[in-house]
Amino acid sequence: MIDMQDKTTHFGFKEVPAADKEKLVGKVFTSVAGKYDLMNDLMSGGVHRLWKRHFVAASGIREGQRVLDLAGGTGDIAQLLMPRLGESGHVIIGDINQAMLEVGQDRMIDAGFFGRFEIQQMNAEALPLEDNSIDAVTMAFGLRNVTDKQQALNEMYRVLKPGGKALVLEFSQVNNSLLKQLYQFYSFKILPEIGHWVTNDRDSYQYLVESIEQHPNQETLQQMFEQAGLEMCGYENLSAGIVAIHTGYKL
């Protein structure tokens, strides 16, 4: 785990004290919570919904399982999981940001899932769950915001039951040079302006774009999965590597 007193880390392209990143990220997501899903639709042209549906469809999660959805915030992944989990399944929506959790709780209740889920404010680096207690851990577009990513993966491994599966959907490295140039132009020149127009918060979306650039590429993240103790690790690129699904098992 990162020594918060001595270390620095990146917040977008800025170097900040590691102890400050959690608070800075918290401000970003408190600012955008109410329009987070709308912004995702605008920024991706709705494609994020297809990525998330594929993420859940390919998850192998089954009826009756207990799933932890980390960085679950607005509840979009949890809602997709519910038909797979059935009446006997249960999902814990964990997020470090209370404002995001409140949005997710309201949406899950409105969707008719009362009693089949719970929300819990938690830090991915120190999960308040027992060892070997979860069948699957999912995390969509949240790992890049964690200060100590390796520690978060270590915690996923700890709470998984033997045979359990960790799944991370995250922005990654585009594997086509021309597409990468176009994607970076769109990301740095267009997306922050959309954020300014919709949420009156350009800086938060500038950070989110920069955080994508700082995130480990596919091979590096797979190695981090393996370092956490996960086995049979692999990844699937979507949209030419704009995002990737990483998986690993606790055997």
Beginning with the edge strand found earlier in the chain, give each strand of the sheet holding 90-95 in spatial order: 117-121, 90-95, 66-70, 134-140, 160-171, 243-249, 231-238
Task: State how beta strands 160-171 and 117-121 pair.
Answer: unpaired
**How many other CB atoms are found less than 10 A from the CB of residue 47?**
15
Summarize the annotated binding site as residue ranges: 74, 95, 123-124
| Element housing 249 (H / E) | strand 243-249
Closest CA to 22 of 177, 126, 103: 126
What is the distance between the alpha carbons of residues 23 and 34, in angstroms, rounded to a whole number? 19
Break the chain down into helix, strand, coil percent, rounded to 5: 50, 25, 25
What is the distance between the alpha carbons of residues 248 and 163, in angstroms, rounded to a whole number? 10
What is the distance between the alpha carbons of residues 6 and 31, in angstroms, rounded to a whole number? 29
φ, ψ for residue 67, nearest 5 deg: -120, 140
Summarize the annotated binding site for S-adenosyl-L-methionine as residue ranges: 74, 95, 123-124
